[in-house]
Amino acid sequence: MRKEDFPIFKTSVYGLPLVYLDSAATAQKPSVVIDKMTNFYQSHYGTVHRAIYKLSKEATFQYEETRSLVRAFLNADKNEEIIFTRGTTEAINLVAYSFGKAFIQPGDEILISEMEHHSNIVPWQLLVEDRGARLKVIPFDERGVLDLKAFEKLLSSKTKLVAVTHISNVLGTINPIKEIAKMAHAVNAKILVDGAQSAPHMKIDVQDLDVDFYLFSGHKIYGPTGIGVLYGKEALLNAMPPYQGGGDMIETVTFEKTTYNVLPLKFEAGTPMIAEVIGLGAAIRYLQNIGLEAIYTHEQELLNYATKKLKEINGIHILGNADKKGAILTFTLEKIHPLDLATFLDLQGISMRTGHLCAQPVMRHFGISSAIRVSFGLYNTKEEIDYFIECLKKAVEKMLWI
C-alpha cells in the first residue's frame, strides 16, 4: 500500500532492499511530509503568533491550520482542546504535572495498567511521590487482556485518574477504552488515554470514546519527530495551571503578577516546533487521503497473515493473543537470544526491535527480560512478511545447529 510514497524504500541496506518492521517505534516519512517541511524552511519560514510581517502571518496560518486538522483527526469539539507538545511523553508529563498540581491530594489514587509503556508509568510515579498519593496497577491475563473485574475492584472514590494505553506497544492488545472511560467516570475519576500506538492505525473519536485526555506522537503517524499532541477537555484544561512559563503563554507580565494566556497557548510556552507542526499537518492530510479505515483493514490483513505464519515456527511464543490487536507481533524463540536473531536479520535488510521494548513490567509478567517485536505500517506488504519468515526460519536453523 503506497510504498512508493516513501523515499527511504529507494535506499538499500547492505545492498539489500529495506524491510522495515519497526513502525511501532517510529514510522518512515512520505515525500509529502519531507517536501512540506523543506519547502517551509526554504521559502516560508518565520515565527508564529508574535509578528505582523507576511512570513510570520503565513507561518501562523499554517500552524493554526494544523491545529484544526488535528481537531478533525480526533473529532475534538474545539481547537482550544488541542495542545502541541514534543510528543506523547511530554504530553503525559504535562498532565501529570498540571492535573496533579490542581487535583491530586495526599491519599488519592491513580490507576494505570500493567501493560503501560514506561512513559505512562514514570510520570505518575513522580507525581504520587510528590503529592503523597498512591499508584495502583490493573493486571492483564495470559492472553494480554486487561482484567476489567480487577479494575472494577480497584476503582473507588479515591481514584482521581485512570491512565491507560489504547494499544499496547508490546502485546498489541486494543483496550476497550469506551468501557474503561465509563467505569472511571462512574466514580468521578478522569481518564487519560495513551494513543501513541492507536493514532497511526485507526480512526479516533475522542468524543465518542468520552475520554478526558488523549495523546499521541507525530513521528509515529508518519510525521516529524519533536511534535506530539495533547487533547484535553476544555473545562479540565482551563482548571489546570500552566506546565511551563515563558513567551506566548502569558497575557500580561509584571514583576508583581503574571496573568496567563487563554487555551491552547496557555500550555505552549516559548517558540514552538513550527516546522514540525506544519509537517504534522502534512502527515495528517496524507493519512486522511488514504483513509484510516483502509489503513486499519490493510494492517489487520498483515497481522493475521504474519501471526499464522509465525505460529508455524517451532519453539515460538507469541506475547499477546487478544482477540482485538493492533499490527504488533512480539515473540520469543526457545534457545535463541533476541539480540542474536535481530543481528542476523539486520544483515538480511530487516529492521525490527528487540529488548524490553520500554515495558519492563510486561517482560516481568512473562518472566523474561527481552523479546523480539515486528510491527507494521501502511507501507508493509505480504511479500515482506514472506521474506521475513523465510529469513527467520534460516536464522533458527543456523542458530540451533550451532
| Catalytic residue list | 358
CB of residue 117 vs ligand PLP: minimum separation in angstroms? Answer: 4
Note whether 98 binds ligand PLP by CB under 6 A. Answer: no
Looking at beta carbons only, is 360 or 381 nearer to ligand PLP?
360
Out of 93, 98, 113, 119, the only residue in the binding site for ligand PLP (CB under 6 A) is 119
94: closest CA among 243, 238, 197, 212?
243
Find the binding residues for ligand PLP in span 141-180 (CB under 6 A): 165, 169
Q: What is the number of alpha carbons within 13 Å of residue 1 lying toward its C-beta?
A: 21
Out of 197, 330, 348, 380, the only residue in the binding site for ligand PLP (CB under 6 A) is 197
Q: CA-to-CA distance for 9 and 17, rounded, in angstroms?
A: 7
Looking at beta carbons only, is 223 or 261 nearer to ligand PLP?
223
CB of residue 391 vs ligand PLP: minimum separation in angstroms? Answer: 25
CB of residue 23 vs ligand PLP: minimum separation in angstroms? Answer: 10
Please give the backbone phi and psi of residue 209, each rounded to the nearest 5 degrees, phi first.
-70, -25
Torsion of CA 273, 279, 282, 287, to 10 degrees: -90
Grid cell, residue 277, equals: 507542526
117-125, 201-209, 252-260, 306-314 -> range binding ligand PLP (CB under 6 A): 117-125
Note whether 117 binds ligand PLP by CB under 6 A. Answer: yes
116-124, 243-251, 339-347, 391-399 -> range binding ligand PLP (CB under 6 A): 116-124
245: helix, strand or coil: coil
Size of the site for ligand PLP (CB under 6 A): 14
**Which DSSP helix (H) or strand (E) runs through 165?**
strand 159-165
Looking at beta carbons only, is 227 or 265 nearer to ligand PLP?
227
Note whether 200 binds ligand PLP by CB under 6 A. Answer: no
303: closest CA among 195, 209, 167, 180?
167
Looking at beta carbons only, is 25 or 135 nearer to ligand PLP?
25
Note whether 87 binds ligand PLP by CB under 6 A. Answer: yes
Note whether 201 binds ligand PLP by CB under 6 A. Answer: no
Out of 127, 196, 209, 396, the only residue in the binding site for ligand PLP (CB under 6 A) is 196
Looking at the DSSP bridge assignments, the partners of residue 162 are 111, 191
Note whether 353 binds ligand PLP by CB under 6 A. Answer: no
Looking at beta carbons only, is 169 or 348 nearer to ligand PLP?
169
Note whether 229 binds ligand PLP by CB under 6 A. Answer: no
Looking at beta carbons only, is 19 or 357 nearer to ligand PLP?
357
Neighbour-count burial for 292-331, b at 16+ CB within 10 Å, e otherwise = beebbebbbebbeebbebbeeeeebebbbebeebbbbbbb
74-82, 114-122, 248-256, 391-399 -> range binding ligand PLP (CB under 6 A): 114-122
CB of residue 358 vs ligand PLP: minimum separation in angstroms? Answer: 6
Find the binding residues for ligand PLP in span 122-141 (CB under 6 A): none
Note whether 89 binds ligand PLP by CB under 6 A. Answer: yes
320 and 143 Cβ atoms separated by less than 8 Å: yes
Grid cell, residue 58, equals: 503565513
Looking at beta carbons only, is 98 or 119 nearer to ligand PLP?
119
Cβ partners under 8 Å of residue 75, min gap 6: 204, 205, 206, 207, 208
Q: CA-to-CA distance for 197 and 388, rounded, in angstroms?
A: 22
Residue 9's Cβ-count burial label (10 Å; 0-12, 13-18, 19+) is middle
47-55, 74-82, 191-199, 365-373 -> range binding ligand PLP (CB under 6 A): 191-199
CB of residue 56 vs ligand PLP: minimum separation in angstroms? Answer: 29
192 and 212 Cβ atoms separated by less than 8 Å: yes
169 and 320 Cβ atoms separated by less than 8 Å: no
Out of 62, 66, 88, 159, the only residue in the binding site for ligand PLP (CB under 6 A) is 88
Q: State yes or no: cis peptide before 176, omega within 30 of 0.
A: no
110 and 133 Cβ atoms separated by less than 8 Å: yes
Looking at beta carbons only, is 164 or 396 nearer to ligand PLP?
164
Contact set with ligand PLP (CB under 6 A): 25, 87-89, 117, 119-120, 165, 169, 194, 196-197, 217, 358
